[in-house]
Chain A
Amino acid sequence: MATFHLQIVTPDRMIFDGQVERFVARTAGGDVCILAKHIDYAAPLGVGQAHIVDENGKTRTAACNSGLLTVYNGEAMVMATTFEWSDEIDRDRAERSRQAAEEALKALKREDVEYAVNSAKLKRAIARINAAE
């Protein structure tokens, strides 16, 4: 299959730089799949799973959290707040933070400021757990 150039960066390092067949991520408008020769595109990223299919047809899954996905002249760039490959995720830690967030949410009301913080935490933890599986 045709491939295209994809770069993924987070503030602390370059995560990926190479040719891929496919890139899938959760954007603010839902899951989006980018293939070669995609039209120019821009979307803020949400919290969720992402995966790539590299030039050898191998799939790699990751948990991706916030940022921007752009395609320009057939090249894709992803700047993410965090982007962790499934084999780098600490499942126990994600599980613990999911439980902590759930506990915290039980005690809070929807209109509390803390509610949004904790539900974002819960979302991230769930995305990590799903990606790690």
Chain B
Amino acid sequence: MKDIKLRIRSVESTMQITKAMQLVATSKLRRAKERMENSKPYGKIAREAISAAVARCEDPNIPFLTPREGNRRCYVVIAGERGLAGGYNSNIFKALDAHAGDADYCVLPIGRKAIDKYQRMHKELLEDTQARVEGASVDDCYRMAGMLAEGYEAGRFDEVYLVYTSFRTMMDQEAKVEQLLPIQKAHLPEDATPVSTVYELEPAETLRRVVPDYLAGKLYSSICDSFASEVSMRRNAMDSATKNADAMISDLRLKFNRARQGAITQEITEIVAGAEE
């Protein structure tokens, strides 16, 4: 009986924690979703703008757009800072493994969990300081984008991929791998009267200036997307943990009451038996 009582108490305190975490996640979720919605248009319009800018460019070697021979890869991995969010972190790592296969790659980790994981695997890290996901600012993204653009231009890698979690609904989030560089052109409406584009600067120079901005915007929106996913996955995980704890407690209560009832019955039987003699 004492055992059961102790177990009930420990499950109760676990439930308090999961419930608190669920509440925290719920309150963070609203802001995270808002930030995510606001950051979405940039990536789409930026890709269209860049595609439009080079749509009629004759130069076959536009930096950042023309695929290169080499196949050294760099993955930008956005994971969380903490666990206890269902499969959030492991889904991300699985998505990367499935995409990379046996290929060798270097990593730009974002979030504590990603840093730890790829440090343990002894992968080459471009940087191991970007541990914050929750409060990541646009400035942080510009810094990382500059690093990626520089590394790509210097030929340290030929392809850059982004691994992040896309928020679809509260119950549905998906780990995704997306190609960042070389940029894949957006599909533009075909125009009836093709005319040449007027450039203020050479197309190559234009791209060289603009692509780091594009990368930064893309990183920012993916970080917001991932964070919203992380929070909602944590909320769901904590919600089911709380429910499980609740079920466990009522189960234990039942057992406890039965044991108590059993003890009383036995005592009465003993007394009655003693009186009869």
Contacts and interface: CB of A to CB of B under 8 A. Distances in A.
Interface of A: 7, 9-14, 17, 27-29, 32, 39-44, 66-68, 70-73, 77-79, 81
A130 to B, nearest CB: 22
Contacts of B142: 81
A20 to B, nearest CB: 16
Given A41-B197, A42-B52, A28 B216 contact: no
Interface centre among A17, A39, A42, A44 (most CB of B within 10 A): A42
B46 to A, nearest CB: 4
Contact of A72 (B55, B201, B214, B220): B55
Given A67-B210, A77-B49, A12 B39 contact: yes
14 contacts: A7-B41, A14-B38, A39-B198, A40-B195, A41-B197, A42-B198, A42-B199, A42-B206, A67-B213, A68-B206, A70-B49, A71-B52, A78-B49, A79-B217
Given A42-B52, A44-B209, A7 B217 contact: no
B198 A11 contact: no
Nearest to A80: B213
B53 interface: yes
Interface string B211-247: 0011011001100000000000000000000000000
A12 B41 contact: no
Contacts of A29: 200-201
Contact of A79 (B46, B188, B198, B200): B46
Contact of B52 (A11, A66, A77): A77
A12 B45 contact: no
Interface range on chain B (Cβ under 8 Å from partner): 35 or more
Interface of B is mostly: helix
Contact of A11 (B50, B53, B138, B206): B138
A13 B53 CA distance: 22
B201 A40 contact: no
Interface in B159-204: 188-189, 191, 195-201, 203
A132 to B, nearest CB: 21
B56 interface: yes
A70 B221 CA distance: 21
Identify the 6 closest CB pairs spanning chains A and B, nearest first.
A43-B200, A72-B52, A42-B53, A11-B217, A77-B49, A40-B197
A66 B213 CA distance: 8
A44 B221 contact: no
Given A42-B203, A67-B213, A79-B42, A11 B221 contact: yes
B213 to A, nearest CB: 6
Contacts of B199: 41-43
A70 B199 CA distance: 9
Nearest to B214: A79
Contacts of A42: 52-54, 197-200, 203, 206
Nearest to A75: B52
B200 A44 contact: yes
Given A44-B209, A73-B189, A77-B48, A11 B216 contact: yes
A90 B217 CA distance: 24
Contact of A68 (B49, B189, B197, B220): B49
A68 B55 contact: no
B141 interface: yes
Interface centre among A11, A67, A72 (most CB of B within 10 A): A11
A68 B195 contact: no
Given A11-B42, A13-B39, A40-B198, A73 B191 contact: yes
Nearest to B221: A11
Contacts of B197: 39-42
A37 to B, nearest CB: 12
